[in-house]
Amino acid sequence: MHISQGQRLPLSNLIQGHALSLTVNIQSPRTIDLACFGVDAQGKLSDDRYMIFFNQPDSPCASVKLLGAGEFKMNLTALPASIDRLVFTAAIDGAGSMRDIQTGSFTLKDASGQPVATCPFDGGAFVEEKAIMLADIYRKDGQWRLASNLQGFNQGLAALVRHFGGEVADEPVAATAPAPVQASLSLEKKVAAAAPHLVSLAKKAQVSLAKAKLEQVKARVALVLDASGSMNGQYSKGRVQEVVNRLLPLAVHFDDDGCIDCWAFGAKPQKLSEITLANHQDFINSDNDGWRKWNLGSRINDEPKVMEHLIRHYQQSGDRTPVYVLFISDGGVHENRKITKLMIEAAKLPIFWQFVGIGGHGYGILEKLDDMSGRVVDNCSFFALDDLHDISEETLYDQLMEEFPSWLKEAGAKGIIA
Query: Residues 259-299: pLDDT tens digits?
Result: 999 999 999 999 999 999 989 999 999 999 999 999 999 99
Of 185, 211, 234, the residue that ends a domain is 185
Kindly state whether residues 368 and 219 are assigned to the same domain. yes
Residue 22 and residue 88 in contact, taking contact as beta carbons nearer than 8 Å: yes
Of 159, 185, 211, the residue that ends a domain is 185
Of residues 129 and 404, more confidently modeled: 404
- What is residue 167's predicted lDDT score, i.e. its pLDDT? 66
Supply the CATH number for residue 204's domain.
3.40.50.410
Distance between CA atoms of residues 418 and 415, nearest Å: 7
Kindly state whether residues 317 and 194 are assigned to the same domain. yes
Would you call 344 exposed, middle or buried from its count of C-beta atoms within 10 A (0-12, 13-18, 19+)?
Answer: middle
Kindly state whether residues 336 and 222 are assigned to the same domain. yes
Instruction: Name the helix (H) or strand (E) containing 19.
Output: strand 19-27
Q: Is 325 within a domain?
A: yes
Of 134, 39, 56, give the one whose Cα is nearest residue 91.
134
Kindly state whether residues 213 and 170 are assigned to the same domain. no
Kindly state whether residues 216 and 307 are assigned to the same domain. yes
Report the DSSP beta bridge partners of residue 8: 147
Kindly state whether residues 358 and 254 are assigned to the same domain. yes
Instruction: Name the helix (H) or strand (E) containing 349.
Output: none
Band of residue 136 on the pLDDT scale cut at 50, 70, 90: very high
274 Cβ contact partners less than 8 Å away, ≥ 6 residues apart: 257, 259, 260, 261, 262
Kindly state whether residues 328 and 243 are assigned to the same domain. yes
Quote the domain boundaries for residue 147.
Answer: 8-185
Q: Is 32 within a domain?
A: yes
- What is residue 13's predicted lDDT score, i.e. its pLDDT? 93
Q: Is 161 within a domain?
A: yes
pLDDT, tens digit, 9 for 90 and up, residues 82-129: 999 999 999 987 788 898 999 999 999 999 999 999 999 998 878 888
Band of residue 174 on the pLDDT scale cut at 50, 70, 90: very low
Q: Is 220 within a domain?
A: yes
Of 185, 220, 255, the residue that ends a domain is 185
- Tell me how long the chain is: 418
Kindly state whether residues 264 and 371 are assigned to the same domain. yes
Q: Is 1 within a domain?
A: no
Q: Is 341 within a domain?
A: yes
What's the number of domains the chain is made of?
2
Band of residue 169 on the pLDDT scale cut at 50, 70, 90: low
Kindly state whether residues 311 and 174 are assigned to the same domain. no
Report the DSSP beta bridge partners of residue 261: 222
Amino acid at 164: F
Kindly state whether residues 179 and 200 are assigned to the same domain. no
Kindly state whether residues 178 and 213 are assigned to the same domain. no
Supply the CATH number for residue 76's domain.
2.60.60.30
Kindly state whether residues 204 and 83 are assigned to the same domain. no
